[in-house]
Amino acid sequence: MLRKAVLYLAIGWIVLVVAGFGVLYGAATLNATTVHSDRGVTEENADEYRWSGKTIALTDNLRKNGWASCEVVPDSGERRDIRSPRDDSAVSYRQYQPWFSGTATVTCGEKVTIRSGATLAMYKLATSRLVWFGSAAIAAIPLVLALIRHYGLVRVRR
């Protein structure tokens, strides 16, 4: 009876870890700003993002043309173009530090996702290999130990 209880607790632990990781990943990926324009940016169809001067990360949602390009027009400062990573890149986002003071308007020619602040921090955490493998280990170790105990693969001396 105790062996089954330990096994059920280990399975419950896995469900809890996977659910926790799912919540973290979901919050990190869904809590972002999407800027989109299929037809190229014109004054009539441009979605805009107001960049408040914090670090941002840019992700190309479609990855059909190699990368997405966005135009950044600061209220005070130099106008620049920024790009997402190439479609053959190992990274999923590109970070940008503000080069201006105040705020800026970002318009993009393709569908992109922009993250900043806490959303960016959670996204970095959720997409890091250390968290992926660490979560798998945290979930798997109790199950392996419970299975060893349940099937009597290791005898404990008393």
Q: Domain limits of the chain?
A: 1-31+128-157, 33-123
Backbone torsions φ then ψ of 115, nearest 5 degrees: -125, 145
Residue with tokens 């966005």: 70
Amino acid at 97: Q
CA–CA dist 47, 43 (Å, integer)? 9
* CATH architecture of the domain formed by 33-123: Sandwich (2.60)
Q: What's the pLDDT tens digit per position in 91-146?
A: 778 899 999 989 999 988 788 888 888 888 888 877 788 877 887 787 778 777 77
Q: What is the CA radius of gyration of the chain?
A: 23
Q: What's the pLDDT tens digit per position in 22-76?
A: 777 777 666 666 665 444 444 444 578 899 888 998 887 665 657 788 999 999 8
